[in-house]
Amino acid sequence: MAPRENDDKPTEDEQPAATQREWERLWEQGDDSGGEDGGSTKEDAGPEGERDADTDTAADSTEPTPTVDDADQASTPAQDSADEPGHSHSHGPDHDHDHDHHHDHDHDHADGSTAPHSHTHPHPRVDDDRVAAVRRVAAAGRRWRNVQLAGCAALLAVAMTAGAIAIGAAKDSGATAVAASSAVSPELLASGSLDASIASLQAHLRTQPKDFDGWATLGLAYVEQARTKGDPSRYPQAQAALQRSLKISPNNENALEGRAALAAARHEFAQALTYADQVLKENPYSERALCSRIDALVELGRYADAEKAADLADARKPGVPVFTRYAYVHELRGDVTTARKVLEQALAAATSPGDISYVAGTLGQLAWNQGDYKTALTDYGRALAADENYLPALEGRARAQAALGDRAEAIKGMELVVSRYPLPQPLVELGELYESRGAAGDKAKAEDQYALVDAWIALARANGVNADLDTALAAADHGNVKSALKAARAEWARRHTVHTADALAWALHVNGLDKEALPYARRATATNYHNASFIYHLGMIELATGHKADGRAHLAKALKLNPGFSPLGASKARKALEATK
């Protein structure tokens, strides 16, 4: 989301003293803090063997040369012990929650691996110092209206790098990014701990810096860690590790698969498709590449090709990662029956807690999209029975509770989610729940959430992630509408998906350009994807362009499909219907 007033960079002496002191305190606290003692320094980072044998790596890359200690602060987070299993899933880069509140989680880029899953089970305490610091900075940003977002992003980056923030994506392949490598023992991978796997990789690479497979695995682990920790600052390190692997062994499969996963994570979907195809030329049965190819085609809006790719992947490598993508491709085409059938089959085939929680959570999301909240709650309950800390299920349960009218429990649940994982979609959902409640102080609480969305987007951009879709969707409803339109146009120039069509249509609408918006709104709903937010947007735009009958019909359709699709949007749809009787 863009700054609400201006983008001018303030000078240091313009900053409020408290904000400047907070900046300096956080920087001192977070800079180069690694491991449990937080005491690693630049001087002691990296194995000696690496310095002796590969001192020329940095000169060959614009990215920093990775060292095995670069991830120490990430692999031993303040609140997440390394031996606690974690799990995160994503259906693909841009449809973690189907944008029901116009936001996607950028940290959702699955690679299709069948390696063990990584769960992050944070401790229940919610007063993490670094998360609290981010919130203090966001609050200062509201009072100080000229604050530059890059500054907020820098603070958020420090907090996130220190391991304070994590995310469980709502849809995923059912796989971790950690590939089999000589650097990681099968027993360790089977434990499901991504942090422990990274620590093992680091120890291995200290003694074997020429292990290209180890470097590729580390790069993939960084991509996964960026996703599961909600920390885009891992992406440059992932790129450096993958480059290191390719320098030692050009065109090795693991590193190329990692480049595809990294490109998708940064929303560089054309590159992701190129890398996936490159792998498949050498190994047509690479599950990770098959899944990356489906994701890239979906995110490029090439739905017919994505369906063919899903069929091919199902024939070559059937399993949970492929089944979930197959289901999503059919859901996008309006075939909910097939999507649910395939997901039920995937759930029956799932054996690990990670797979069970992920597939059951995806079933819950599918049910919620159809307005079947009781079934959604049942599915989310199945997910939480397998993993009580699975964030997508906790978030989905709160959303279903809100739709059923239990706002108090919904707010309580969403507050728990964002206290651990302050990322765009749950932040906006919580902000809108506050606004819809309208109690004393709720408006300010909502603004707190939207300010954190700003900071996350700025951090993502600073680390090479294309965040235009996030900006467009968030800013259209809760920020600078001109910036929303600029970002939406930029995203549409790159790819033509139903999500980008909807984002552009709504950004045009909030800027008063409804005639231009109408074709995009119609395109967003043309695949028959059952998304009440898209249909609501179309109805509002049709009313604004004088198509009263069509507008009323689509607003009624949105409310019939999913009457609780948005705390604020559903209320506005009802008011618009009443006003046009």
Cα(540)–Cα(550) distance, integer angstroms: 10
Q: What is the pLDDT of residue 330?
A: 96
Q: What is the pLDDT of residue 29?
A: 37
Cα(500)–Cα(490) distance, integer angstroms: 10
Contact 544, 576 (CB under 8 A): no
Listed range (32-41, 69-78, 537-546) with the worst mean pLDDT: 32-41
Look at 371 and 78; give whichever has higher pLDDT.
371
Mean pLDDT for the stretch of residues 375-395: 94
Q: What six digits make up the tokens of 320?
A: 């949970």
Instruction: Indicate if the pLDDT at residue 74 is higher than 60.
Output: no
User: CA 347 → CA 42, 148, 163, 169, distances in Å?
Assistant: 46, 46, 31, 18
Confidence class for position 464, pLDDT limits 50, 70, 90 = confident
Mean pLDDT for the stretch of residues 243-271: 92
Mean pLDDT for the stretch of residues 376-405: 94
Q: What is the pLDDT of residue 471?
A: 83
Instruction: Indicate if the pLDDT at residue 261 is higher than 70.
Output: yes
Confidence class for position 132, pLDDT limits 50, 70, 90 = low
Instruction: Indicate if the pLDDT at residue 75 is higher than 90.
Output: no
Q: What is the pLDDT of residue 135?
A: 53
Mean pLDDT for the stretch of residues 161-171: 30
Q: What is the pLDDT of residue 192?
A: 52
Look at 358 and 122; give whichever has higher pLDDT.
358
Check: pTM over 0.85? Answer yes or no. Answer: no
| Region for 192 from its dihedrals, namely left if φ exceeds 0, alpha if ψ lies in -120 to 50, beta otherwise | left
Q: What is the pLDDT of residue 152?
A: 40
* Residue 410 main-chain phi, psi, to 5 deg: -65, -45
User: CA 210 → CA 24, 65, 204, 234, 256, distances in Å?
Assistant: 38, 14, 10, 22, 17
Confidence class for position 510, pLDDT limits 50, 70, 90 = very high
Look at 469 and 395; give whichever has higher pLDDT.
395
Mean pLDDT for the stretch of residues 448-456: 88
| Region for 214 from its dihedrals, namely left if φ exceeds 0, alpha if ψ lies in -120 to 50, beta otherwise | alpha
Q: What is the pLDDT of residue 437?
A: 95
Contact 89, 169 (CB under 8 A): yes
Contact 502, 488 (CB under 8 A): no
Q: What six digits make up the tokens of 98?
A: 């189907």
User: CA 336 → CA 301, 528, 536, distances in Å?
Assistant: 19, 10, 19
Instruction: Indicate if the pLDDT at residue 322 is higher than 60.
Output: yes
DSSP string, 120-132: ----S----HHHH
Q: What is the pLDDT of residue 182?
A: 35
Contact 551, 539 (CB under 8 A): yes
